[in-house]
Amino acid sequence: MATDAPPPPEASTDTRPAQPTTEAFTAVQESAEFGELRRSYRSFAFPLTIAFVLWYLLYVLLSNYAGGFMGTKVYSNINVAFVFGLGQFVTTFLIAWFYSRHAAAKLDPKAEAIKSRMEADA
Protein backbone atom coordinates (compact mmCIF):
# COMPACT_ATOMS: atom_id res chain seq x y z
CA MET A 1 0.00 0.00 0.00
CA ALA A 2 1.42 3.40 -1.03
CA THR A 3 1.29 6.30 1.39
CA ASP A 4 1.60 9.94 0.52
CA ALA A 5 4.53 11.31 2.49
CA PRO A 6 4.91 15.06 2.84
CA PRO A 7 7.53 16.56 0.54
CA PRO A 8 10.93 17.24 2.11
CA PRO A 9 11.50 20.83 3.26
CA GLU A 10 13.26 22.89 0.60
CA ALA A 11 16.22 25.09 1.27
CA SER A 12 15.53 28.79 1.40
CA THR A 13 15.72 30.31 -2.08
CA ASP A 14 15.68 33.90 -0.85
CA THR A 15 18.81 35.48 -2.32
CA ARG A 16 18.13 39.03 -1.18
CA PRO A 17 20.80 40.55 1.06
CA ALA A 18 19.97 40.89 4.72
CA GLN A 19 18.39 44.21 5.60
CA PRO A 20 20.38 46.46 7.95
CA THR A 21 18.66 47.83 11.01
CA THR A 22 17.54 51.41 11.48
CA GLU A 23 20.42 51.92 13.89
CA ALA A 24 22.88 50.72 11.23
CA PHE A 25 21.49 53.24 8.72
CA THR A 26 21.77 56.01 11.30
CA ALA A 27 25.35 55.02 12.14
CA VAL A 28 26.33 55.06 8.47
CA GLN A 29 24.61 58.40 7.92
CA GLU A 30 26.68 59.89 10.74
CA SER A 31 29.94 58.32 9.56
CA ALA A 32 32.81 60.29 8.02
CA GLU A 33 32.73 58.03 4.96
CA PHE A 34 29.10 58.92 4.20
CA GLY A 35 29.85 62.58 4.87
CA GLU A 36 32.63 62.43 2.28
CA LEU A 37 30.25 60.82 -0.23
CA ARG A 38 27.74 63.63 0.32
CA ARG A 39 30.47 66.29 0.00
CA SER A 40 31.67 64.74 -3.26
CA TYR A 41 28.14 64.80 -4.64
CA ARG A 42 27.32 68.31 -3.45
CA SER A 43 30.62 69.83 -4.56
CA PHE A 44 29.85 68.66 -8.08
CA ALA A 45 26.07 68.95 -8.36
CA PHE A 46 25.40 72.29 -6.66
CA PRO A 47 27.85 74.46 -8.63
CA LEU A 48 26.78 72.93 -11.94
CA THR A 49 23.11 73.35 -11.08
CA ILE A 50 23.61 76.98 -10.14
CA ALA A 51 25.66 77.63 -13.28
CA PHE A 52 23.04 76.04 -15.51
CA VAL A 53 20.16 77.94 -13.88
CA LEU A 54 22.06 81.21 -14.31
CA TRP A 55 22.81 80.34 -17.94
CA TYR A 56 19.13 79.55 -18.53
CA LEU A 57 17.99 82.77 -16.82
CA LEU A 58 20.46 84.76 -18.92
CA TYR A 59 18.88 83.26 -22.03
CA VAL A 60 15.36 84.08 -20.82
CA LEU A 61 16.26 87.62 -19.75
CA LEU A 62 18.10 88.36 -22.99
CA SER A 63 15.15 87.00 -24.95
CA ASN A 64 12.77 89.30 -23.08
CA TYR A 65 14.83 92.47 -22.74
CA ALA A 66 17.49 92.39 -25.45
CA GLY A 67 15.48 91.52 -28.53
CA GLY A 68 17.79 93.49 -30.80
CA PHE A 69 20.85 91.58 -29.62
CA MET A 70 19.10 88.20 -29.73
CA GLY A 71 17.84 88.95 -33.23
CA THR A 72 21.34 89.65 -34.53
CA LYS A 73 22.07 87.35 -37.46
CA VAL A 74 25.07 85.10 -37.02
CA TYR A 75 24.90 83.25 -40.33
CA SER A 76 22.14 83.33 -42.96
CA ASN A 77 18.85 82.97 -41.00
CA ILE A 78 20.54 81.81 -37.79
CA ASN A 79 20.48 84.45 -35.07
CA VAL A 80 21.98 84.77 -31.58
CA ALA A 81 18.75 83.53 -29.93
CA PHE A 82 18.85 80.32 -31.97
CA VAL A 83 22.51 79.74 -31.05
CA PHE A 84 21.75 80.37 -27.35
CA GLY A 85 18.75 78.02 -27.54
CA LEU A 86 20.86 75.25 -29.04
CA GLY A 87 23.46 76.01 -26.38
CA GLN A 88 20.87 75.13 -23.74
CA PHE A 89 20.54 71.63 -25.19
CA VAL A 90 24.28 71.21 -25.57
CA THR A 91 24.98 72.25 -21.98
CA THR A 92 22.24 69.92 -20.70
CA PHE A 93 23.85 66.94 -22.40
CA LEU A 94 27.35 68.00 -21.37
CA ILE A 95 26.33 68.31 -17.73
CA ALA A 96 24.68 64.87 -17.84
CA TRP A 97 27.82 63.39 -19.41
CA PHE A 98 30.13 65.09 -16.87
CA TYR A 99 27.92 63.90 -14.02
CA SER A 100 27.90 60.29 -15.24
CA ARG A 101 31.70 60.34 -15.44
CA HIS A 102 32.01 61.95 -12.01
CA ALA A 103 29.55 59.48 -10.48
CA ALA A 104 31.31 56.48 -12.00
CA ALA A 105 34.73 57.65 -10.87
CA LYS A 106 34.04 59.20 -7.46
CA LEU A 107 30.55 58.49 -6.14
CA ASP A 108 29.77 54.92 -7.16
CA PRO A 109 32.89 53.31 -5.61
CA LYS A 110 32.27 55.08 -2.29
CA ALA A 111 28.58 54.20 -2.30
CA GLU A 112 29.32 50.57 -3.20
CA ALA A 113 31.82 50.30 -0.35
CA ILE A 114 29.26 51.63 2.12
CA LYS A 115 26.55 49.32 0.74
CA SER A 116 28.80 46.26 0.83
CA ARG A 117 29.85 46.94 4.41
CA MET A 118 26.25 47.45 5.52
CA GLU A 119 25.10 44.23 3.84
CA ALA A 120 28.01 42.29 5.36
CA ASP A 121 27.23 43.62 8.84
CA ALA A 122 23.50 42.83 8.58
Q: Is residue 81 part of a domain?
A: yes
- Structural domain boundaries enclosing 103: 28-121
pTM, rounded to two decimals = 0.70
Say how many domains are in the chain: 1
Amino acid at 31: S
| pLDDT for position 118 | 81
Using the 8-state DSSP alphabet, how is residue 73 labeled? E
Q: Is residue 75 part of a domain?
A: yes
The stretch 6-10 carries a mean pLDDT of 60
Q: Count CA within 13 A, CB hemisphere, residue 105.
A: 7
Q: Is residue 15 part of a domain?
A: no
Q: Is residue 93 part of a domain?
A: yes
Please, are residues 24 and 121 in contact by the beta-carbon 8 Å criterion?
yes
| pLDDT for position 28 | 82
What would the pLDDT profile of 20-50 be if each residue is shown by its tens digit?
Answer: 778 878 888 888 888 899 999 999 999 999 9
| pLDDT for position 11 | 55
Q: Is residue 10 part of a domain?
A: no
Q: Is residue 84 part of a domain?
A: yes
Residue 5 has pLDDT above 70, yes or no: no
Q: Is residue 21 part of a domain?
A: no
Average pLDDT of the chain, as a whole number: 86
Of residues 7 and 75, more confidence is placed in 75
What would the pLDDT profile of 60-81 be if each residue is shown by its tens digit?
Answer: 999 999 989 989 899 999 999 9
- Exposure string over 2-24, b if 16+ CB within 10 A, otherwise e: eeeeeeeeeeeeeeeeeebeeee
Q: Is residue 14 part of a domain?
A: no
Max Cα distance, the chain (Å): 100
